[in-house]
């Protein structure tokens, strides 16, 4: 594939690693950010013009449908989508408010749904495309205090599998990547004891870097993965071995 890849949440962490990896390989990338415009512009510079940033808040339900034609008008047809943007509001389920539950589910699962819906008419018409949804180890191995986040990320895996069935005959592939503990800004405020426990179950002492996850995503977007769809790949330093 040689079209544009749209990466949500591309200004930091795993998303940033994906953007820079694809750009280094010669792919044109559109990526989104929510708050940090300065960081986003820095990535544009670092990518030497191969990546361009768009502002997107997944709470804005109308924005995905508007941003796709903007990107295609500026860069060309989108044939890859990486649903990476996410939010966390950790806490025990018994004390989780309806507002926090709704915000996490709507952003992490609903946002991915709306981004998929926005790119699919073009992919289906061209009979070509690859979507990668970024899930979480919490979806397959419970973490206390992350029931809401885990529910949203598990929903991504379910959506991945059903969407792969819907789109296979139109030559559009859909897969998920399930990262283990990746030390990014998103976990900077996590309980140190919880992080220690998660590291303790890893089989590989080196852990998982954002670039490790980005490598799997880049593979799944490529023609080398043309026979792979409907799968969820763990990149977790052996945590689930």
**Would residue 129 be called left, alpha or beta, if left means φ above 0 and alpha means ψ between -120 and 50 degrees?**
left
Three-state SS sequence of the chain: CCCEEEECCCCCHHHHHHHHHHHHCCCCEEEEECCCHHHHHHHHHHCCCCEEEEECCCCCCCHHHHHHHHHHHHHCCEEEEEECCCCCCCCCHHHCCHHHHHHHHHHHHHHHHHHHHHHHHHHHHHCCEEEEEECCHHHCCCCCCCHHHHHHHHHHHHHHHHHHHHHHHHCEEEEEEEECCECCHHHCCCCHHHHHHHHHCCCCCCCECHHHHHHHHHHHHCHHHCCCCCCEEEECCCCCC
Cα–Cα–Cα angle for 45, 47, 48, rounded to 5 degrees: 65
Is 149 noted as a catalytic residue in this protein? yes
Dist. CA 230–CA 241, nearest whole Å = 21
Instruction: List the catalytic residue out of 33, 54, 149, 233.
Output: 149
Residues with a catalytic annotation lie at 149
């Amino acid at each position: 594939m040689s079209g544009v890849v749209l990466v949500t949440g591309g200004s930091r962490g795993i998303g940033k690693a994906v953007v820079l990896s694809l750009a280094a390989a010669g792919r044109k990338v559109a990526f989104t950010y929510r708050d940090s415009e300065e960081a986003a512009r820095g990535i544009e510079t670092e990518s030497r013009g191969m990546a361009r940033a768009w502002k997107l808040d997944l709470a804005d339900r109308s924005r995905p449908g508007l941003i796709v034609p903007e990107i295609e008008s500026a860069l060309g047809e989108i044939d890859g989508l990486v649903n990476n943007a996410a939010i966390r509001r950790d806490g025990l389920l018994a004390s989780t408010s309806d507002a926090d539950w709704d915000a996490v589910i709507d952003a992490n699962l609903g946002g991915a749904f709306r981004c998929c819906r926005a790119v699919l008419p073009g992919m289906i018409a061209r009979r070509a495309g690859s979507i990668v949804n970024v899930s979480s180890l919490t979806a397959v191995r419970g973490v206390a205090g992350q029931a809401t986040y885990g529910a949203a990320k598990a929903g991504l895996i379910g959506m991945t599998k059903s969407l792969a069935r819907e789109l296979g005959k139109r030559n559009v592939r859909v897969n998920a990547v399930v990262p283990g503990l990746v030390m990014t800004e998103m976990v900077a405020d996590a309980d140190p004891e919880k992080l220690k426990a998660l590291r303790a179950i890893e089989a590989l002492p080196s852990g998982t870097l954002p670039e490790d996850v980005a490598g799997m995503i880049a593979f799944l977007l490529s023609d080398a993965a043309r026979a792979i769809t409907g799968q969820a790949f763990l990149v977790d330093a052996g945590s689930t071995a």
